[in-house]
């Protein structure tokens, strides 16, 4: 499989800009991160180039910490659209061909149908802007145990939203950790939604540590990823329980 390292979670024993070299030293050829926006695109591009890495994913701007995305928020449509333009600038500089949308959370008093309609409208807009640059958009379910009120907590719900949008370059990002936290079977999800899965992430559950720290059957789920013919990136997005290089048994030898 094609493994990538999420630099927001892995190699945090180093400053962020030094994590590129650390990932490359451990054998990774690809990285991802949630938010590149605190750094100049040229600096990130240099770190990628100097370490022979590609950036395979980052997120649209998500708002202030704790917002968990802008996509479903009716009052923040202008900010969402501005963020799409900003993300495209970074994608151009970094050579990234896939961008993730975090849907956002429902607040007390919200109309869920209105918030979902807002998400659909925003996804259609973002997908159209990205399509013009040859870039795919993915949407990521986030479990409602860790993030109560998240609008799209399961892959089945995300698939419904994708179908409702009806645009050709909108796909599913499947995180095995979030699926497990919702008591779903990741292998069943991967098989059921194989046609729309374009990016995969993983961590063990519960705890979000490296494989072997929780109850996720990685051998089974990695075998499913291969069996369905998935050829995209599979990104490690876990919190290492010790120095990252000491937790890569799954990378060197398989889960």
Residue 255 within any structural domain of the chain: no
Nearest CA to 107 among 151, 76, 63? 151
Residue 210 within any structural domain of the chain: yes
Cα-based angle 220, 200, 12 (whole degrees, multiple of 5) = 105
Residue 130 within any structural domain of the chain: yes
Out of 32, 140, 184, 210, which one is annotated catalytic?
A: 140
Q: Clarify whether 121 is annotated catalytic.
A: no
Nearest CA to 47 among 20, 29, 13? 20
Q: How many folded domains does the chain comprise?
A: 1
List the beta bridge partners of residue 100.
59, 138
Q: pLDDT at position 66, please? A: 78
The CATH number of whichever domain residue 123 belongs to comes to 3.20.20.150
Give the mean pLDDT of the chain: 96
Residue 101 within any structural domain of the chain: yes
Asked if 48 and 39 count as a contact pair (C-beta separation under 8 A), the reply is: no
Q: In sequence order, what E strands does 90-243 have? A: 98-101, 136-139, 170-175, 197-202, 233-236
Residue 254 within any structural domain of the chain: no
The pLDDT > 90 percentage for the chain reads 97
Q: Greater confidence, 133 or 253?
A: 133
Residue range of the domain that includes 78: 2-249
Q: What confidence tens digit (pLDDT) does each residue in 9-39 have? A: 999 999 999 999 999 999 999 999 999 999 9
**C-alpha to C-alpha distance for 30 and 53, rounded to whole angstroms:** 5
- Give the CA-trace dihedral at 229, 231, 233, 235, to 10 degrees: 30
Residue 182 within any structural domain of the chain: yes
Residue 51 CB coordination number (10 Å): 17
Residue 235 in this model has a pLDDT that exceeds 60? yes
Q: pLDDT at position 253, please? A: 54
Q: What confidence tens digit (pLDDT) does each residue in 104-151 have? A: 999 999 999 999 999 999 999 999 999 999 999 999 999 999 999 999
Q: Clarify whether 79 is annotated catalytic.
A: no
Residue 254 in this model has a pLDDT that exceeds 90? no
Mean local confidence (pLDDT), 47-61: 98
Out of 32, 116, 184, 237, which one is annotated catalytic?
A: 237
């Amino acid at each position: 499989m094609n493994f990538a390292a999420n630099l927001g979670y892995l190699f945090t024993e180093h400053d962020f800009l030094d994590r590129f070299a650390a990932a490359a030293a451990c054998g990774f050829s690809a990285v991802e991160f949630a938010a590149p926006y605190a750094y100049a695109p040229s600096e990130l591009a240099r770190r990628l180039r100097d370490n022979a890495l590609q950036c395979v994913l980052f997120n649209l701007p998500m708002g202030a910490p704790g917002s968990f995305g802008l996509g479903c928020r009716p009052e923040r449509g202008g900010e969402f659209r501005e963020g799409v333009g900003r993300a495209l600038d970074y994608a151009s500089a970094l050579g990234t061909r896939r961008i993730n949308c975090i849907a956002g959370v429902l607040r007390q008093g919200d109309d869920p149908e209105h918030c979902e309609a807002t998400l659909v409208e925003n996804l259609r807009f973002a997908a159209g802007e990205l399509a013009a640059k040859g870039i795919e958009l993915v949407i990521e379910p986030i479990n409602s145990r860790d993030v109560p009120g998240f609008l799209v907590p399961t892959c089945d719900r995300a698939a419904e939203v994708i179908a409702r949008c009806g645009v050709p370059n909108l796909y599913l990002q499947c995180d095995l950790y979030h699926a497990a936290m919702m008591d779903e079977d990741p292998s069943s999800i991967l098989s059921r939604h194989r046609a729309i899965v374009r990016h995969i992430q993983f961590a063990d559950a519960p705890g979000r540590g490296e494989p072997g720290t929780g109850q996720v059957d990685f051998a089974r789920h990695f075998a499913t990823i291969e069996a369905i013919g998935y050829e995209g990136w599979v990104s490690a997005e876990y919190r290492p329980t010790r120095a990252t290089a000491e937790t890569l048994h799954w990378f060197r030898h398989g889960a």
